Amino acid sequence: MNGTVGIVGVGNMGGAMAARLLACGWRVRACDLVPAKVQALVAQGAEASAMPADAARGADALVVCVVDAAQAQDVLFGPQGAAATLAAGRAVLLCPTIAPDDTEQLAAQLAVRGLEAIDAPMSGGPARARDGTMSLMVACTDAAHAANRALLDALSTKVFRVGAHPGDGARTKLVNNLLAAVNLAGAAEAIALAERLGPDAARTLDVIEQSSGQSWIGSDRMRRALAGDYAPRAHVTLLHKDTRLALEAARAAGFSPALGRLAHEAFVRAVAAGRADLDDAVLLEGMRHP
């Protein structure tokens, strides 16, 4: 048996990470605002934690897998926050896609309490999180990395150590996600064009997947879109948020990403059209009917 890990936020990604750790022999304490998500993991062997503080008490590490910086702040330092019960010297994996400044602020607050921050945003979707092949972009001290190497390796076979300073993982993730958004918007536009020109769209995607236009996110999302499957694995709101954060970071660095702005606008339109809670494959609908 490996150690005990608290996971706060067991939705699509956090739940898949919890299932992965359970399969690898870790003890998992699951905490989420939606009881059904926790109970699904209890059925797999996890322990239910009513509050973040309960998930962290006595744990060897804590994984925070919520949506944004405000939620992470509340999970760690709110009235039932995990930072108060996690033992000194333990690590907190910060997995949300948030602004680098927010990551740095959370890391500083954790350090005051004697806790290590591991900036660890992830990429690849729930299926890859479940089988341990998602990407983890890790930035932390050498000591935190060494102490938590077994946990990181259990979570993913693709752990990238991008720096020693929390915040560098967040920066790497924003760059990745801006490109993901550009690729997804481009793939949706290309498939919409194929439909207008006449060739079979699914067969066109077959060609693209073996040719120079291929992208993982384009294939993954457009296969679902062509099947009319918009059940949310990755809500439109996520890349809407992430592209906004990436553009804000770019402005702060004095850089103007023109393609990134266009991709962000595609997500803005999807939200305005009432598609915020659908899978981001639904961008195809916006390209079909601009």
| Span 221-234, pLDDT tens digits | 999 999 999 999 99
Structure tokens at 247: 């553009």
The reply to whether 140 and 26 lie within a common domain is yes
Per-residue CA distances from 17 to 9, 23, 109, 196 (Å): 10, 10, 25, 40
Of 165, 199, 228, which marks where a domain is finished? 165
C-alpha torsion 221→20→246→265, nearest 10:
20
Half-sphere exposure of 238 (CA within 13 A, CB side): 21
**What is the percent of the chain with per-residue pLDDT over 90, rounded to a whole number?**
98
Give the pLDDT score at 290.
83
Q: Which domain holds residue 113?
A: 4-165
What average pLDDT does the segment 44-50 reach? 97
Alpha helices in the chain (DSSP H): 12-23, 35-42, 52-56, 69-77, 100-112, 126-131, 142-147, 149-155, 168-197, 201-209, 216-226, 236-252, 258-272, 283-288
Q: What is the pTM of this model?
A: 0.92
Q: What is the pLDDT of residue 110?
A: 98
Could you give the number of structural domains in the chain? Answer: 2
Average pLDDT over residues 226-252: 96
Same domain, residue pair 186 and 52: no
What average pLDDT does this structure show over 131-148? 97
**Mean of the per-residue pLDDT values for the chain?**
97
Band of the pLDDT at 2, cuts 50, 70, 90? Answer: confident
Closest CA to 121 of 61, 76, 162: 162
Specify whether 155 is located in the same domain as 200: no
Nearest Cα to Cα of residue 7 among 77, 75, 80, 88? 75
Domain boundary among 109, 142, 165: 165
Is 37 a catalytic site residue?
A: no
The CA distance from 83 to 77, in Å, is 6
pLDDT exceeds 80 at position 179: yes
Selecting among 37, 158, 173, 241, the annotated active-site residue is 173
Nearby residues of 167 by Cβ (< 8 Å), 6 or more positions away: 100, 101, 103, 104, 107, 119, 139
Q: For the chain, give the percent of residues with pLDDT over 70.
A: 100
Verify that 96 and 135 share a domain, yes or no: yes
pLDDT in tens, 186-232: 999 999 999 999 999 999 999 999 999 999 999 999 999 999 999 99
- Is the pLDDT at 98 greater than 60, yes or no? yes
Q: What is the pLDDT of residue 244?
A: 97
Distances 44 to 9, 30, 98, 135, 176 between C-alpha atoms, Å: 16, 11, 30, 24, 32
pLDDT at position 12 is 92
**Three-state SS at 92:** strand
Q: Dig out the tokens for 235 from the structure.
A: 């809500």
Say if residue 238's pLDDT is above 70.
yes
Domain end (from 133, 148, 165): 165
CATH number of the structural domain spanning residue 207 = 1.10.1040.10
Q: Are residue 49 and residue 183 in the same domain, yes or no? A: no
In this structure, which amino acid lies at residue 250? A
Question: pLDDT tens across 13-27, in order?
Answer: 999 999 999 999 999
